[in-house]
Structure 1
């Protein structure tokens, strides 16, 4: 089974538990204003790879994964755009006893993605905003599929880590954050919430690709803004993760 891969990180430590083999897939239906990998957007980019050759490379790292409680994380782009490839690779990883995770926006068809979920131990779910208008403006797509996917993962009892990028004057509205927290209290499978402070490390890629980077004047969030956001989730006894918690 062949797919298009943007890049590989062999010893990642922030995209799931333990030491992880991270596969960044090519192609994404979202156009997030703060995206630091806009070079993953186009589906025909990257390098064509086969799941057979990939699994041979992945198993080389099994000792590191086993000793650290790690595994493989398939990220992007949006990995589920290449659903057959991702499902095949997840299946091969589970046969090898490797812990599996996918980092996704959740902008997918639940019916189509069901076979892949059979081989997943963890989903890293990116919720860009809980305000529908802001979400649409920020990403170019509606929020409803992501929220429905979150509820379906809860029905399947598949563990989830929520990722929330804190962008000043866009996603830092405390009422929107409180609404998100209230939604997350309805789910029983959320193991962790990561607040990811906005940064501009990918701005140069936008310039190289000739894209208009709308957040060039946006500053990183203050420590107070980060703490205020964390406190909203803490108020609802949600599993917030990170510094100064």
Structure 2
């Protein structure tokens, strides 16, 4: 297949993107715009405006045929290009075919248990990733999807059927439009459907003050996880490390104290739900 998708980065070995040592592939593009996103440069695609070129200290960027061209061998990975981009994007995303990605995965194959397709939002490229997942599975590797849950279940069903499971981010229940720029409860409906076919590896929620109703979100998720004791719920304390300055200024005062964060774990224990993890 000659079809290509934009990939922000490939992490050869990760132990935080699912079970075991995994290769994580981060696609470019997401339909959300979460206030606390630590991969905000994966949301938009490069507009080829060229503003980043003059700011690149290592001269790794240039204009060719009205396109911003990135030369990785010259890059110092200072991320100045991302910091000055008015669209908070990156010129460093690369176009890959399925065969290109498989060539990379083959290199890491002896050292990994599987591949996690992340982003960005991988379900935006469901057709492409369905074919890729089929090829990965033939290597004896597992395939996970790290998703925000906002996808058309029926249209995505070929991908859902071939992968081993989803790492599902439930951002919030109330005020989701303010927090992530989308007005929908589709993520909760898809959580229910994925649970029903045993395709949920883990559910996760980032907790912060002011911008969400934490208690209602926890209750809605835990109520849906009842009857699925094998599925853990990971609570993540939002932090400002790695955020863009504009994000830090907006949510800095909403970061929880350690005591506030731990209290939500205590609440789940009191509720009788014990299969959760607290991530600082």
**TM-score band (shorter)?**
0.7 to 0.9
8 Å contact from structure 2 (residues 4, 98) kept in 1: yes
Write the distance in 1 (CA, Å) between the matches of 2:102 and 2:136. Answer: 7
Partner of 1:62: 109
- Structure 1 alignment gaps of length 5 or more: none
8 Å contact from structure 1 (residues 154, 189) kept in 2: no
8 Å contact from structure 2 (residues 170, 205) kept in 1: yes
Aligned pairs for 1:137-216 (under 5 A) are 137-171=178-212, 173-185=214-226, 188=228, 191-204=231-244, 207=245, 215-216=250-251
CA offsets 1:48-84 (integer angstroms, 9 cap, x no match): 011112112112222222xxxx311011111111112
Partner of 1:127: 170
User: Structure 1 residue aligned with 2:95, among 35, 45, 48?
Assistant: 48
8 Å contact from structure 1 (residues 90, 120) kept in 2: yes
Alpha-carbon spacing, 1:183–1:156, altered in 2? closer, same or farther (3 Å): closer
Aligned pairs for 1:213-228 (under 5 A) are 215-218=250-253, 220-228=255-263
Write the distance in 1 (CA, Å) between the matches of 2:237 and 2:279. Answer: 11
Alpha-carbon spacing, 1:126–1:190, altered in 2? closer, same or farther (3 Å): farther
- Structure 2 alignment gaps of length 5 or more: 47-89
Task: Please say if 1:79 is aligned against 2:122.
Answer: yes
Write the distance in 1 (CA, Å) between the matches of 2:214 and 2:193. Answer: 27
Aligned pairs for 1:95-114 (under 5 A) are 95-114=138-157
Shift of 1:192: 1.3
8 Å contact from structure 1 (residues 12, 19) kept in 2: yes
TM-score computed with the length of structure 1 as normaliser: 0.86
Shift of 1:95: 1.0
Shift of 1:212: 6.3
8 Å contact from structure 1 (residues 83, 113) kept in 2: yes
CA offsets 1:158-197 (integer angstroms, 9 cap, x no match): 1330011011233463344233322332x53752111111
Write the distance in 2 (CA, Å) between the matches of 1:225 and 1:39. Answer: 30
CA offsets 1:34-58 (integer angstroms, 9 cap, x no match): 1111111124562101111211211
Write the distance in 2 (CA, Å) between the matches of 1:98 and 1:196. Answer: 28
Partner of 2:160: 117
Any idea what SS the aligned residue of 1:6 has? strand
Any idea what SS the aligned residue of 2:96 has? strand
CA offsets 1:189-237 (integer angstroms, 9 cap, x no match): 7521111110123323xx5xxx666625325322222222122333232
Any idea what SS the aligned residue of 1:218 has? helix
Write the distance in 1 (CA, Å) between the matches of 2:152 and 2:45. Answer: 18
Alpha-carbon spacing, 1:154–1:135, altered in 2? closer, same or farther (3 Å): same
Alpha-carbon spacing, 1:238–1:135, altered in 2? closer, same or farther (3 Å): farther
Any idea what SS the aligned residue of 1:111 has? coil
Write the distance in 2 (CA, Å) between the matches of 1:189 and 1:102. Answer: 20
Count of residues in Structure 1 that have an aligned counterpart in Structure 2: 232
